[in-house]
Chains A and B, each alone.
Chain A
């Protein structure tokens, strides 16, 4: 049962503020979607290794070289706030 309390707990885990209206809406919708997920519960998967990536990963190593791809200016250009080359954050962070 995805009640409001569960929704609030998930939102906390997800670091996501949601409104009361959203909590009510998600509660009903998630319940329905999760019910749909139950379809796979009875499939026999004993000793089946989960598939994480669908095609084989061929091991490739990049040369172990230090490279400067971007300047500090470029790396901080999108920051919401900055002080010189540093990311500026509110005191709590």
Chain B
């Protein structure tokens, strides 16, 4: 078995049957991180106890204990998720010295299933960015072309997974931060239905949009890891009590008779030629496999980006108010410098601790929530958000899954858009509406640009209809013209 490219089941079965020890698996991937990550900058810290954790799994197997469905599978975790005893900075100076005393529920569940946490993965600061250029730890490079971005904000997770520095990764998605980098790096990324995954222990950005999900190498691995991380958590009142299906056992590539929705408002053109070609090919493939294509209208998607940025920045400005330099995180040096008053104390600490993009969004959110503007901005965005969601619910009466591009272009060059926030924000045009409506969405690799950059297609399903989405994704994966292609860095 070639460990680098093994599936989760192959690794877990081999570990459980003692064909390979969890320690050997961990060491193999540690060696890959050691030799390749200097090119990518995808890891921000490594778990110093990874080998010890693997040995503990081996010891439990030796005693005949049940170690879980992901026994010995090495995972990298986005810095947005708290990991007990391992530094968790959310890509920010303001949390640069933060070591959580607890695990996020997602992490605790992965560990319970036998996962070995290898370390933390780089990201845009507080998940604010579409290119992974706003991190306190520096830019992450795309393993397909080191001059290009891996996408954001889960760029570290995407790059580490695409270069197979780990077997699986976890990202978070507020407006496309799992799906866009998955598309840019040729991996599978899933954002489950809002409420499927507990947000307990995930550093809050925009609470009504954030969800964690897997960024992995196959649809099957995505389904299996989702079964582990999804489910009700008493620690998160927004987590759903709906039972978690056995998606991985029920995946079917038979799409005959399934209805694939195409949003007519997306068909206006303006796409990069390679992205358009990939989308057209995926549609033709599904049609050939027996799926029926239906046109649906979700006209409010035209406004998804402004609604998204209104909601996200407003919620962020409120969530980030907790970083005050009193209880944890960075504090300005007041040993030699006294603050004039309390506001001055907070202002200096926050001004020094947050990066430029985060400050820009806090400012925007504060403005939109301020007296006189609340109704015109935040409240209005909430109303249009409901209209958008209603249109999606209507659309899903006519189709099983919606197919669309993930982004307007393949991975762009480092530095290309960083000083043009509006253009950067508009990059999220196909992904943000999914979060606004709380729908599950995913990116599956299906094409390659002329210059050799991966391109994914996006699938969106109705609330809690992940199985339909995974089935179509598995069908596309089986017929993908780019199957087996590897990034240059490998």
A83 contacts partner chain B, Cβ-Cβ < 8 Å: no
Knowing A18-B351, A79-B327 touch, does A51 contact B389 (C-beta < 8 A)?
Answer: yes
Within 8 A of A (CB), among B358-408: 359-360, 362-364, 366-368, 370, 376-377, 379-387, 389
Interface size for chain A: under 10, 10 to 19, 20 to 34, or 35 or more residues? 35 or more
Cβ A30 vs Cβ B363 within 8 A: yes
Knowing A45-B383, A49-B383 touch, does A16 contact B351 (C-beta < 8 A)?
Answer: yes
Within 8 A of B (CB), among A1-53: 2, 6-7, 10-18, 22, 26, 29-30, 32-34, 36-37, 39-41, 43, 45, 48-53
A52 to B98, alpha carbons, bound, how many Å? 30
Cβ A81 vs Cβ B331 within 8 A: yes
Instruction: State the Cβ distance, A44 to closest chain B Cβ, in Å.
Output: 9
B452 contacts partner chain A, Cβ-Cβ < 8 Å: no
Cβ B99 vs Cβ A10 within 8 A: no
Cβ B327 vs Cβ A78 within 8 A: yes
A68 contacts partner chain B, Cβ-Cβ < 8 Å: no
Q: Interface size on B (CB < 8 Å)?
A: 81
Cβ B360 vs Cβ A26 within 8 A: yes
A70: which B residues are within 8 A, CB to CB?
A: 101-102
B456 contacts partner chain A, Cβ-Cβ < 8 Å: no
B370: which A residues are within 8 A, CB to CB?
A: 10, 13
A64 contacts partner chain B, Cβ-Cβ < 8 Å: no
The chain A residue sitting closest to B330, CB to CB, is A80
Partner of B99, one of A14, A37, A62, A78: A78
B439: which A residues are within 8 A, CB to CB?
A: 54
- DSSP class of A's interface residues: helix, strand, loop or mixed? loop
Instruction: State the Cβ distance, B365 to closest chain A Cβ, in Å.
Output: 8
Binds A, one of B14-22, B35-43, B300-308: B300-308
Cβ B306 vs Cβ A11 within 8 A: no
Partner of B347, one of A17, A26, A41, A51: A17
B347: which A residues are within 8 A, CB to CB?
A: 11-12, 15-17
Cβ B345 vs Cβ A54 within 8 A: no
A40 to B307, alpha carbons, bound, how many Å? 8
Encode contact with B along A48-77: 1 for CB under 8 Å, 0 otherwise.
111111110110101000000110001111
Instruction: State the Cβ distance, B339 to closest chain A Cβ, in Å.
Output: 5
Knowing A22-B356, A30-B363, A39-B303 touch, does A53 contact B327 (C-beta < 8 A)?
Answer: no
A1 to B362, alpha carbons, bound, how many Å? 18
B356: which A residues are within 8 A, CB to CB?
A: 22
A29 to B363, alpha carbons, bound, how many Å? 11
B302: which A residues are within 8 A, CB to CB?
A: 39
Binds A, one of B237-245, B252-260, B269-277, B471-479: B237-245
Cβ A37 vs Cβ B309 within 8 A: yes
Cβ A92 vs Cβ B345 within 8 A: yes
The chain A residue sitting closest to B97, CB to CB, is A78
- Apart from A15-B324, A43-B387, A92-B340: 20 A-B pairs, beta carbons within 8 A: A6-B367, A14-B366, A15-B346, A15-B350, A16-B363, A17-B350, A39-B302, A40-B307, A48-B383, A48-B387, A50-B382, A53-B438, A54-B209, A54-B439, A55-B193, A58-B240, A58-B241, A69-B102, A78-B327, A91-B338
Q: List 9 A-B contacts (CB under 8 A).
A: A15-B347, A16-B359, A18-B363, A40-B310, A43-B303, A43-B384, A45-B383, A55-B463, A74-B101
5 A-B pairs with least C-beta separation:
A54-B438, A50-B382, A17-B351, A78-B328, A80-B331
